[in-house]
Copies of this chain bind each other. A is one copy, B any other.
Amino acid sequence: MAIKVAINGYGNIGKRVADAVAKQDDMELVGVAKTRPNFEAFVANKKGYPIYASGEDKIAAFDAAGLEVAGTTMDMLGEADVVVDATPEGMGAKNLEGIYKKLGIKAIFEGGEKHDAIGASFNAYCNYQDTIGKDYVRVVSCNTTGLCRSLSAVDSVAGIKKARVVLVRRGGDPVQIKKGPINAIIPNPPTVPSHHGPDVNTVMPKWNVATIAVLVPTTLMHQHNIMIEVENDVSREDVLKEFYSRMRLMLVRAGDGLGSTAEIIELSRDLGRPRYDLWEIAIWEESVNVVDNEVFYMQGVHQEADIILDNIDCIRAITGVEKDAKASIRKTDKAMGVMGSFRPPQCLEDKPEELREIHSKAWGIE
């Protein structure tokens, strides 16, 4: 039986999780709850998603816009096995106490909520097993997800002794026309270390991770600069091989014309990705280096997209329908069209056999 999933909040995250749920053969989208009939509501209507008004008092506005609603959020929750709460920052915690606990419905929250308010945090590569059967779980933010993904790869081959990261964050999402900066670099937070390190620790408590973050005037992606002291002797090739082996990391090369976040997004547009969503973390291959047991690399995080995969896995974990992390990840990646790489396998003739095999698989050639 398909898991019945409700989406509470239909903004940047909610609309993407809705589309992703609709693509899974073991899930059913019960509907989406919205506060107002803006253009996103018209598109939801066009896609055939049942629309629920966020309250009785909101129904009139949808009626006036000519959009039929299936009921209110409470009606929607009554139909669902699990709710993904993609409401604005801080509202999820209120919904947890005020609604979900009373209804006894399992709930997934996003990175805008505080870990302590929810009680558990999630990243599919790191702690899927620990999440099985929990009732309330938070999928960590886009930046934390990006760090968890590539750090877990480095940890698995070399053991993380100490990770230091400088995050260059996008000022706002493309649609956020009133966010900024538009002409400044903002230490944000101005305190050091930033909250991103501790946020990684909500998923992987043992890692020594310290982070510093700034905001810059761009909307496309975050960019991370990563320096990791490792426990074990490891070569650049070992690290690259591990990166290549993970479908949710995509190696890109400046030499292929992908030397910036803008060009990486252009690739994603060309690949025909919905909303140009790059679910994979892009790692610049040229930047990967190992010097005296220190691993260096730079990566790009499409802030709107990466967490969508983990939301889908989290739905399987908390409902317990899939006990094996790798099986869920594989299922999600296949349904979404995660590629791991945009380069055809014949372009890797100078690489070790094993790496080429991994890569061929990622490209869909067994």
Of the listed stretches A187-195, A238-246, A261-269, name the one at the interface; the rest are far from the partner chain: A261-269
CA distance A58 to B175 in the complex (A): 41
Known: A174-B265, A262-B174. A43 touches B270 (CB 8 A): yes
With both chains docked as a complex, state the minimum distance between the C-beta of A250 and any C-beta of chain B, in angstroms.
12
Establish whether residues A274 and B272, one from each chain, have CB atoms under 8 Å apart when the complex forms.
Answer: yes
Establish whether residues A40 and B348, one from each chain, have CB atoms under 8 Å apart when the complex forms.
Answer: no
Establish whether residues B43 and A342, one from each chain, have CB atoms under 8 Å apart when the complex forms.
Answer: yes
Establish whether residues B257 and A177, one from each chain, have CB atoms under 8 Å apart when the complex forms.
Answer: no
Give the residue name and chain of the B residue nearest to A257 (CB). B38
With both chains docked as a complex, state the minimum distance between the C-beta of A302 and any C-beta of chain B, in angstroms.
12
Give the residue name and chain of the B residue nearest to A220 (CB). B174
Give the residue name and chain of the B residue nearest to A265 (CB). B174
Give the residue name and chain of the B residue nearest to A258 (CB). B39
CA distance A163 to B348 in the complex (A): 57
Chain A window 122-155, contacts with chain B (Cβ cutoff 8 Å), 1 for yes, 0 for no: 0000000000000000000000000000000000
A1, CB-defined interface residue at 8 Å: no
Establish whether residues A66 and B258, one from each chain, have CB atoms under 8 Å apart when the complex forms.
Answer: no
In the complex, chain A residues 331-366 whose Cβ is within 8 Å of any chain B Cβ: 342-344, 346-349
Establish whether residues A177 and B42, one from each chain, have CB atoms under 8 Å apart when the complex forms.
Answer: no
With both chains docked as a complex, state the minimum distance between the C-beta of A157 and any C-beta of chain B, in angstroms.
26
With both chains docked as a complex, state the minimum distance between the C-beta of A44 and any C-beta of chain B, in angstroms.
9
CA distance A175 to B259 in the complex (A): 11
CA distance A187 to B292 in the complex (A): 53
Establish whether residues A271 and B66, one from each chain, have CB atoms under 8 Å apart when the complex forms.
Answer: no
Contacts of A260 in B (CB 8 A): 177
Establish whether residues A177 and B67, one from each chain, have CB atoms under 8 Å apart when the complex forms.
Answer: no
